[in-house]
Chains A and B, each alone.
Chain A
Amino acid sequence: MNAVAARSLDDRLNPILVKEVRQALRGRYFRALFWLTLGVATLVGLSIVANSVRSPGAQVLGREFFMVMFGCLSAAVHAFTPFSAFLSTSAEWDENTHDLLVLSNLRPRQIVYGKLCSALVQALLYYSTFGPFLVFAFLLNGVDLAALGAILFVSMASCASLTLLGVALASLSAAKAPRVVLMALFGIGLVMFWGMSLGMSSGVVYSPQMLREPEALVMLAGTVVSILLAGAFFAAIAVARLSHEEENRSSGLRVLSVAIVISALAFGAWMSWGHSAPDFAWGLQVAALFPLAVAWLFFLTEPEPLGRHVRLHVSRNPLLAALSAPFLPGGGRGALLMLLHMLLAAFGALACMAFGPVDPVRRSAAFFGLLGVYAYAWIYMGIPAGAASFFVRSLRGRVVTRMGIVFLLPVVMLGPLLVGLVLGISGLSDPLHPFNPATALGALMDSREMTKLVELALAALTLLSLALNAPRMIQGVREVLAASAERRAKPVERS
């Protein structure tokens, strides 16, 4: 590469990437963990090879050797690297550099992208360091090429996604105390993920024939797509959090949440029509509920009024303004978006299953079962958020509402069970009691109907939730239309 090209490339590099890599490579954290990981891998690897005289064959030795090496590599790329991204983002608050970044020309997504790239560069150093060990394991027949490729592919995607989760978590709060709690939870989560990754990898290594089954590639693709979608979701959260007050923090995340539902539908349709597996259509929608629930928690509890800056950017066209309402910030508009998600998921799944080899009864059960699962979301999130919207105005109130919602579900799910166990009431000691969303999920999976009473209660409570949220949903659309009218009334501003 000539000097001009090198300079041109240098200019195009993300500034955060340049800074972070410089800092990381000079910092004690990376150097210490790098040499520690490498040292442990070398020692354990050597001890396995030294004991190989007692091993029944090269393949067993190779598998053991691979699992040890991958264990060390996985610790580095699935724990140390994402944790380093968390610390780096956290340091922007602690070192008062967050404001300086905001004031520069860097956009929040460039900051997040720079942090991700920097983590990937560090991960790449680990991959290249462990490369010869993994090749050695392959030469010992410990792992076949397909398994090695699949494991490394999923591992890289997971590293990116976990890094984005770390950045998102560290960006959630400028205050140190909540970040310390998040750091501890993230650390525990990473250790758990490390264990899970080892378990899954050993499954692939010890049963490589599973990769030769026709569904394996689809499952692998589905896993990677899900991991990357989760990563995109975390990135959207981080971008929203790193955006400043005057910027619209909500719309990007709202658009992504709809993209998650549509992606799940597209994959479900593909599985239903192309692979005769119609249950994917609703199964993926249920899986999508987990990230969506996190998003709803924030959407439903946002302050109702449109910010002054956002008002300036509402479409002048009243139709476009009305259509954009669910994607604009505000709790009422968040409830509108949740309604849109529910309709899209239920009717979309129904459409996906319509062309697959499934009988109408099963289709109908899946449709109502999915609505049932959504009904729980309306009850546990919509009712408290809707009720709080009548009197909560402060940030503290909104935080309390969010915490209340987070704790409500486990309390309601486990409460009757505990009471039943303690008081010996057999009717309550069944974990699948009507308060538990798993009841609807179970009915959905087994194609059985819930009792009429439960159905009625669910319907009534969902209607109550919708009724509580209806005034703010209507007001939310009205406000957008009013902002659109204001913009039409004013002369065109300088762009």
Chain B
Amino acid sequence: MALLDVRGITKRFGALKAVDGVTFQVSPGQICGFIGPNGAGKTTTMRVCSTLELPDEGDVLIDGLSVLGEPREARKRIGFMPDSYGAYANTTIHEYLDFFARAYGLQGAARRTTLARVIEFTSLGDLTEKYIDALSKGMKQRLCLAKTLLHDPPVMILDEPAAGLDPRARVELRELVKALAQLGKAILVSSHILTELSEMCSSVVVIERGQLKGGGTVADVVRSVNRATTLFLRALAGAEACERRLLETPHVLNVRREHEGVVFEFDGDLNAQAELFAQLAASGLQPVELALRDTNLEDIFLSLTEGKLQ
């Protein structure tokens, strides 16, 4: 069962339809990238999923609980990290986390254990007595993630968590998110840094002008955008021989040499693809590498969206 089940939500602000009938699901252990241009409705959708906005139509189920019918229960299962996180003045990291642990109803030994666990997970151990105002952007993001983890929510909604981070902090954050997915959490993450998302997401949802433009596993979306699959072939016979052979093969398109092999697109179904592999193996080309090319979220994004703002 999907832990996050978004069912046809629509949200209007006056005459503006910020989100228009968006539907998607995120399952346990899945990291779903939520992509779209500025003003596409990503943050609004995430706020609806987090119970911070009420949908005008549709509903969102968090672990089976409706954000409309049981918002308080649903909230206990959500960890929301907003793009503009909040921090209190004159407060140390430990006091900040202690406050939110209390606010989530954690008491006594459970609170102390949870704080220690979260601080260790986010590697904030050496900074606990430091004032939040003095933290770097990366450390503040870690702190915000730590706060989000305090009540151990099964669903995590991260709005632009990597925005403004340096490359090292981004890598560290990515590893933390992956570790959370391995713990079985369903994670919805939005970002403008598509290479960042492509390295951690198992599925994507593309939104533009409030409408869903595509969604599913990265491979599914690539297939829906471009029916052709991009493959790379390297053989002992050389790139030229490979190119000649491929140009005579049905369903093969756009063959081009790259490094010591060739990159080509294949628009056949899975049976045709299996037949192609068999033919290449039997062709005398002596293939040593036949691989699917890494999917490129930027290509998907550009194919699916028109760059229009609302």
Q: Which residues of B contact A103 (CB under 8 A)?
A: 50-52, 75, 78, 80
Question: For the complex, what is the distance from the CA of A96 to the CA of B87, rounded to whole Å?
Answer: 7
Q: Are the CB atoms of B91 and A22 closer together than 8 Å?
A: yes
Partner pick for B51 among A11, A18, A19, A244, CB 8 A cutoff: A244
Q: Are the CB atoms of B88 and A19 closer together than 8 Å?
A: yes
Q: Are the CB atoms of A100 and B100 closer together than 8 Å?
A: yes
Check A100/B147 contact, CB under 8 A, given A7-B108, A15-B99, A394-B14: yes
B235, chain A: closest CB distance, angstroms: 56
Question: For the complex, what is the distance from the CA of A95 to the CA of B85, rounded to whole Å?
Answer: 8
Within 8 A of A (CB), among B252-298: none
The interface bits of chain A over 100-122 (1 if a CB of B lies within 8 angstroms of the residue's CB, else 0) are 11111110000000000000000
Q: Which residues of A contact B84 (CB under 8 A)?
A: 96
* In the assembled complex, B54 has its CB within 8 A of some CB on chain A: yes
* In the assembled complex, B105 has its CB within 8 A of some CB on chain A: yes
B7, chain A: closest CB distance, angstroms: 14
Q: Which residues of A contact B52 (CB under 8 A)?
A: 99, 102-103, 244
Q: A99, A312, A394: which has the most chain B beta carbons within 10 Å?
A: A99
Comparing B66-74, B220-228, B237-245, the segment that makes contact with chain A is B66-74
* In the assembled complex, B182 has its CB within 8 A of some CB on chain A: no
* In the assembled complex, A213 has its CB within 8 A of some CB on chain B: no
* In the assembled complex, A97 has its CB within 8 A of some CB on chain B: yes
Q: Are the CB atoms of B69 and A312 closer together than 8 Å?
A: yes
* In the assembled complex, A359 has its CB within 8 A of some CB on chain B: no
Q: Which residues of B contact A22 (CB under 8 A)?
A: 90-91, 95
Q: Which residues of B contact A209 (CB under 8 A)?
A: none
* In the assembled complex, A307 has its CB within 8 A of some CB on chain B: yes
Q: Are the CB atoms of B54 and A96 closer together than 8 Å?
A: no
Partner pick for A312 among B51, B68, B111, CB 8 A cutoff: B68
B188, chain A: closest CB distance, angstroms: 15
User: Is the contact region of chain A dominated by helix, strand, or loop, or is it mixed?
Assistant: helix
Q: Are the CB atoms of B82 and A23 closer together than 8 Å?
A: no
Question: For the complex, what is the distance from the CA of A172 to the CA of B151, rounded to whole Å?
Answer: 30
* In the assembled complex, B76 has its CB within 8 A of some CB on chain A: yes
Partner pick for B102 among A18, A99, A244, CB 8 A cutoff: A18
Q: Are the CB atoms of A96 and B82 closer together than 8 Å?
A: yes
Within 8 A of B (CB), among A224-269: 244-247
* In the assembled complex, B1 has its CB within 8 A of some CB on chain A: no
Interface residues on B, range: 35 or more
Q: Are the CB atoms of A246 and B95 closer together than 8 Å?
A: no
The interface bits of chain A over 1-18 (1 if a CB of B lies within 8 angstroms of the residue's CB, else 0) are 000000110010101001
Q: Are the CB atoms of A27 and B89 closer together than 8 Å?
A: yes
Question: Nearest chain-B residue to A12 (Cβ)?
Answer: B107
The interface bits of chain B over 89-104 (1 if a CB of A lies within 8 angstroms of the residue's CB, else 0) are 1110001000110111
A242, chain B: closest CB distance, angstroms: 13
Q: Are the CB atoms of B51 and A97 closer together than 8 Å?
A: no
Q: Which residues of A contact B104 (CB under 8 A)?
A: 104-105
Within 8 A of B (CB), among A424-477: none
* In the assembled complex, B167 has its CB within 8 A of some CB on chain A: no
A85, chain B: closest CB distance, angstroms: 15
Q: Are the CB atoms of B103 and A101 closer together than 8 Å?
A: yes
Question: Nearest chain-A residue to B70 (Cβ)?
Answer: A494
Question: For the complex, what is the distance from the CA of A312 to the CA of B59, rounded to whole Å?
Answer: 13
Q: Are the CB atoms of A95 and B86 closer together than 8 Å?
A: yes
Interface residues on A, range: 35 or more
Check A308/B54 contact, CB under 8 A, given A96-B85, A103-B80, A246-B68: yes
Q: Are the CB atoms of B54 and A246 closer together than 8 Å?
A: yes
Q: Are the CB atoms of A245 and B76 closer together than 8 Å?
A: no
Partner pick for B103 among A8, A104, A312, CB 8 A cutoff: A104
Q: Which residues of A contact B86 (CB under 8 A)?
A: 92, 95-100
Q: B53, B95, B100, B105: which has the most chain A beta carbons within 10 Å?
A: B100
Q: Which residues of A contact B89 (CB under 8 A)?
A: 23, 27, 91, 95
Question: Nearest chain-B residue to A102 (Cβ)?
Answer: B52
Q: Are the CB atoms of A104 and B100 closer together than 8 Å?
A: yes
Q: A105, A247, A394: which has the most chain B beta carbons within 10 Å?
A: A105
Question: Nearest chain-A residue to B108 (Cβ)?
Answer: A11
Q: Are the CB atoms of B54 and A105 closer together than 8 Å?
A: no
Question: Nearest chain-A residue to B79 (Cβ)?
Answer: A103
B133, chain A: closest CB distance, angstroms: 11
Within 8 A of A (CB), among B10-27: 14
Q: Are the CB atoms of A246 and B67 closer together than 8 Å?
A: yes
Question: Nearest chain-B residue to A106 (Cβ)?
Answer: B103
Question: For the complex, what is the distance from the CA of A11 to the CA of B109, rounded to whole Å?
Answer: 10
Q: Which residues of A contact B53 (CB under 8 A)?
A: 245
Within 8 A of B (CB), among A385-419: 394-395
Question: For the complex, what is the distance from the CA of A358 to the CA of B264, rounded to whole Å?
Answer: 102
B171, chain A: closest CB distance, angstroms: 26
Q: Are the CB atoms of A245 and B50 closer together than 8 Å?
A: no
Q: Are the CB atoms of A246 and B71 closer together than 8 Å?
A: yes
Within 8 A of B (CB), among A1-58: 7-8, 11, 13, 15, 18-19, 22-23, 26-27
Smallest CB-CB A-B distances: 6 pairs: A97-B86, A15-B102, A104-B103, A96-B86, A26-B90, A11-B107
Can you list 13 A-B contacts (CB < 8 A)? Answer: A15-B99, A15-B103, A19-B95, A26-B90, A95-B87, A96-B86, A103-B51, A103-B52, A103-B80, A244-B52, A246-B54, A307-B54, A494-B70
Q: List residues of B whose CB falls within 8 A of some A CB.
A: 14, 50-54, 67-71, 75-76, 78, 80, 82, 84-91, 95, 99-100, 102-105, 107-108, 111, 147, 151
Q: List residues of A whose CB falls within 8 A of some B CB.
A: 7-8, 11, 13, 15, 18-19, 22-23, 26-27, 91-92, 95-106, 244-247, 307-309, 312, 394-395, 493-494
Known: A8-B108, A246-B54, A246-B68. 4 other contacts (CB 8 A): A103-B52, A104-B103, A105-B151, A309-B71
